[in-house]
Amino acid sequence: MKRNFLGILTTMTLALLISVPLSAQTIAKVTVPFDFTVGQARMSAGTYEISSVAHGAIVIRDTKAATSVLSTVRSEHSRNNDSSTALLFNRYGDKYFLSQVSRGFGGGVMQLPTSKLEKEVRIASSGVSREVVVAAK
């Protein structure tokens, strides 16, 4: 039973990734000046395209390296009336974790889940973090 579930989940994930170019809606294009982490995936500094692939899922794609990562998101209403599209990172020392994508113009925000790795880094750094915002194009 467990093996069947994992096989189905893997197949569904692959089908979603294959269909990304056909149905993805670009939310933002942004140049991130530092290395960062999404879930368990380490991403290098560079230019990224953020696309919505389904309700509750986004793809973060490095435009030069042609690498990407899929993440679940939780949509929320924006807490302010900021009209700019931006990415919000949690910073612990020299480690950055993508936390939120703001759509701007009242489009709300997409909150990424906190990964196990981020929780471990937060504990190791005594919970001291800073929020870093990178504006998108």
For the segment 112-126, what is each residue's pLDDT rounded down to a tens digit?
999 999 999 999 988
Q: Provide the 10 A C-beta neighbour count for residue 125.
A: 13
Number of domains in the chain: 1
Domain that holds residue 49: 24-135
Widest Cα–Cα separation across the chain: 48
Band of pLDDT at residue 37, cut at 50, 70 and 90: very high
**Cα dihedral sign for 52, 105, 81, 93?**
positive
In a domain, 18, yes or no: no
In a domain, 84, yes or no: yes
Backbone φ/ψ region at 105: left (φ over 0), alpha (ψ -120 to 50), beta: left
pLDDT at 25 (0 to 100): 82
In a domain, 96, yes or no: yes
In a domain, 119, yes or no: yes
Which alpha helices (H) appear in the chain, and where do they start and end?
A: 2-23, 116-124
pLDDT in tens, 55-95: 899 999 999 988 999 999 998 876 666 668 899 999 999 99
In a domain, 68, yes or no: yes
Band of pLDDT at residue 7, cut at 50, 70 and 90: very low
